[in-house]
Structure 1
């Protein structure tokens, strides 16, 4: 489970509920018709904007913010350096056995293309094309939640207008104006919650996860092409460490030093 997501949701709910209770009654902020017009209307508009299969697939992506998926670029670089050492000692064909045990299908595909003797430019084109489509799918899902975030406040305003019309219809009863106005404003509150407490945070977290995965695969492409070109493992290491922050570069260096000592 992603701790930051859980902590953010819980703390946000606590802050909202406590602030409401400090200045008023929690019951004032619950209105079933307002929920229907804001949340129902928002997702109805999104449904119009997206084909049914993409709507449900994008909706399911919300669960990804609760999952912890590590994209350890340092470990991948170390793995590529190991492959470079194997290729340097035993030849490129020796990488086929190493590829069979790999869980990452992208890296596995790249290795098999190299083993099959595919032209380096073609290898790059194939892998970069796959990466571009992965990134495109990610952006489509992010766009879904950005659409939800943009439509939520708009439907909140629609609900407010409906409430104001109902309030104006009761102007002959001054005692009903205050409660009617409160209900009208609740829809705006719901729209802001949908956008700023849920949809925008989901889109932002998915963007971060996507950028981490894209960076990881760019490292793989560069590393595999360097192996195919027969470059020295130390040169490959320095080239790939350019993708990392200084802290992570030190981690890769420590791992290499540890393996060297173990070999001695």
Structure 2
């Protein structure tokens, strides 16, 4: 669980709730027609904008923002160095059993190609293609939330215009203007809420998650290429540790 994301989301709702409670209370901010226009309209527009397979995965993507897959990167570096040491000592074919048991699909695929004797350029080309396509899919999934935020803002403004038209048609009753104006503005409030609490922040954190995954895959790719070339394990470790923050660069050879 990413504690910063959780704290941020909880804090946003607490601050907004507190601000509304100190004013007129929560009640005036609840309006069913405004909910239907802003939430319903923006979600309907998402159905037009994306394939159903993307929409079905929205909840899963949302959860990844707060609970991303955990990767022990220092442990991964150690594993790659151990593989390199074994390959230098016993030959790269000795890694076949380890490769077959490897849980990481990307690492298993790369090691398998190296063990099978594939050319270095072929291994790099195929693994980079895998990385690029995975990153592209993740960013496309993240874009659902930014699109939702933009659509919600538009539908919020549309709802406000609908409310203003209704208000202007009832100008003969001055006492109704204030409440009508409040209702008209609620849709803009809902649109801003979706865009700034759910849309943009979730999109941003999902892109960060995707970039983190791409960085780990780049680390694995460089490790596989070094193993395939038969590089010295110390040199491999030095290269892979450069992917880590300085505070995590602990060498197993020291």
Give the structure-2-normalised TM-score: 0.95
CA contact (8 A) 1:71 1:212 kept: no
**Structure 2 residue 63 is matched with structure 1 residue 63:** yes
**Structure 2 residue 69 is matched with structure 1 residue 73:** no
Gaps of at least 5 residues in structure 2 are none
Instruction: Give the SS at the match of 1:118.
Output: coil
Query: What's the offset of the Cα at 1:9?
Result: 2.4
Q: Once superposed, what is the RMSD of the aligned Cα atoms?
A: 1.4
C-alpha distance in structure 2 between counterparts of 1:58 and 1:135, whole Å: 17
**Structure 2 residue 34 is matched with structure 1 residue 34:** yes
C-alpha distance in structure 2 between counterparts of 1:54 and 1:234, whole Å: 44
CA contact (8 A) 2:234 2:253 kept: no
1:102-129 Cα shifts (integer Å, max 9, x gaps): 2101101111111111111111111111
Map of 2:228 onto structure 1? 228
C-alpha distance in structure 2 between counterparts of 1:27 and 1:58, whole Å: 29
Map of 2:160 onto structure 1? 160
CA contact (8 A) 2:68 2:209 kept: no
Give the structure-1-normalised TM-score: 0.92
CA contact (8 A) 1:80 1:223 kept: yes
Query: What's the offset of the Cα at 1:68?
Result: 3.8
Query: What's the offset of the Cα at 1:175?
Result: 0.6
Instruction: Give the SS at the match of 1:235.
Output: helix
Instruction: Give the SS at the match of 1:123.
Output: helix
CA contact (8 A) 2:138 2:210 kept: yes
Instruction: Give the SS at the match of 1:63.
Output: helix
Map of 1:192 onto structure 2? 192
**Structure 2 residue 6 is matched with structure 1 residue 6:** yes
Map of 1:46 onto structure 2? 46
CA contact (8 A) 1:110 1:127 kept: yes
Query: What's the offset of the Cα at 1:59?
Result: 5.1
C-alpha distance in structure 1 between counterparts of 2:12 and 2:4, whole Å: 12
C-alpha distance in structure 2 between counterparts of 1:241 and 1:98, whole Å: 22
